A = this chain, B = another copy of it.
Amino acid sequence: MKAEIIAVGTELLLGQIVNTNAQYLSQELAALGIDVYFQTVVGDNKERLKEAIRQAQGRADVLVFSGGIGPTQDDLTKDAIAEVLGRDLRNDRPAMDKIAEFFADRGVPMTDNNKRQALVIDGCTPLPNATGLAVGVAISDEAGHHYIVLPGPPSELKPMFEAEAKPWLLHQVLTDEMPLYSRILKFAGIGESALEDKLLDLIDAQTDPTIAPYAKEGEVAIRLSTKAHDIQEADKKLTALEVQIQSRLPQHMYASEDVAIEETIVKMMADLGLTVSAAESCTGGMVMESLTTVPGSAAMLRGGIVCYSNEMKEKLLNVPHDYLEGEDAPGAVSREVVEVLAEQIRMITDTDYGLSVTGVAGPGYSERKPVGLVYIGISERGSETEVFELRIKGNRDTVRKRSTKTLLYRLWLRLLQAEKQD
């Protein structure tokens, strides 16, 4: 089954927004076993949109539209499809009621153009919009083409695809096929190509479940997918493969769901009743900022210190002056200093773990040390402090992010050990 994704909106052609919907829909369709051959973006112009629809009919079975179903006269997606199909538009009663209620609640008069959002194509399955006002559309024509119309805002498109369009595809279009079940596996401390290397024989031999890379910026993930009669059968197959993968990468696979490593860390620390703090130099707060993206992190992250200047390293973190300055001093970017930072922050904040990082983020050398040289440290109550030297290639942004990710990965490894001892 072949699909084409058609995004409608002049704002995309002007570059005012980026077409993230195409990525989301491509991933979702691929997971359903539907091949996307083309993605098209067209402006809010009915004739050009109709041209794009006719062209897509010639090369795809499933046409998925995003955008162009809002209240303005520029919103023409449903009109264009209805004209191509030779059908009428009609009002969807539940959508109409929802719009009326929305304006009544706010005590604002409803203007006529807002009614446009309740329009659907005659004979279609309306797709309710849980997070917005514009109703979606799913419809099949006599020639065997299937059309799905979704809103443009990702906050409306994603829930509508998940709750309405995907079930419609599964029940109305992919009827001959068994339902598809997926599982995301997340990895840290390993690159995409090294991961592929470790799993090469599994990837090459894959039939059921399938293994596919699952793209997320700055993260390494794969998606396992299988068709099964029910979720029990699917779970059995997915778990068998997951166990196999996990046994090859016990030091890297940190989750079997789509979560960031920060979330896994916060959950593990909460379960173990452990606390953490950090002393950050070149990352300027990024490690703590990452951990505090997770709700509930207040229970384990007590706080920490950003010691961007040597003065602060001395004053707030008791780094000996002769570590920092003088001819034979190891300098701020050194094993010696990162070790003191980790131990001191742990003692000052009285936490189970103390994290630290110091390095040359660039641009430009510092202390005659190269850009990308970074030291990270982990101090643990009653254990030796671990120190790692990193040599990161890339610009300031890359050096800071990679340092943060590596430190979190190392903390996760320590928590794995703590779990075993628990």
Contact = CB atoms under 8 A, between A and B. Distances in A.
Interface of A: 11-20, 22-28, 30, 35-43, 48, 51-52, 55, 59, 212-213, 215, 278, 280, 282-289, 291-293, 295, 297-298, 301-309, 311-312, 315-316, 348-349, 361-364, 396-397, 400
The oligomer's copy count stands at 2
Given A284-B288, A308-B298, A308-B301, A39 B41 contact: yes
Contacts of A38: 13, 40-42, 48, 52
Nearest to A298: B308
Contacts of A22: 12, 15, 18-19, 41
A302 B59 CA distance: 60
A30 B15 contact: yes
Contacts of A280: 285
A16 B39 CA distance: 14
A349 B303 contact: no
Given A15-B24, A19-B18, A285 B292 contact: yes
A309 B302 contact: yes
- A interface SS class: mixed
Contacts of A39: 12-13, 19, 39-41
Contacts of A349: 312, 315-316
Contacts of A26: 12-15
B213 A16 contact: yes
Contacts of A305: 303-306, 316
A405 to B, nearest CB: 14
Contacts of A288: 284-285, 306, 308
Contacts of A289: 283-286, 289
A382 B381 CA distance: 42
Contacts of A315: 349
21 contacts: A13-B26, A15-B23, A16-B27, A19-B22, A19-B23, A38-B41, A38-B42, A39-B41, A278-B306, A284-B291, A284-B297, A289-B289, A293-B400, A298-B309, A303-B307, A303-B308, A304-B306, A305-B305, A305-B306, A312-B349, A316-B349
Contact of A292 (B14, B284, B316): B284
A26 B14 CA distance: 5
A306 B285 contact: yes
B16 A215 contact: yes
A302 B291 contact: no
A277 to B, nearest CB: 8
A397 B20 CA distance: 19
Nearest to A278: B306
Nearest to A20: B18
Q: 3 nearest interchain CB pairs?
A: A285-B285, A284-B292, A15-B26
A295 B20 CA distance: 30
Contacts of A397: 293
Contacts of A17: 23, 215
A287 B35 CA distance: 44
A307 B23 CA distance: 38
A292 B13 CA distance: 34
Given A15-B25, A17-B215, A284-B292, 17 more contacts: A14-B36, A14-B212, A15-B30, A19-B23, A37-B43, A37-B48, A38-B40, A39-B41, A283-B292, A285-B286, A285-B287, A295-B362, A298-B308, A304-B306, A305-B306, A316-B348, A316-B349
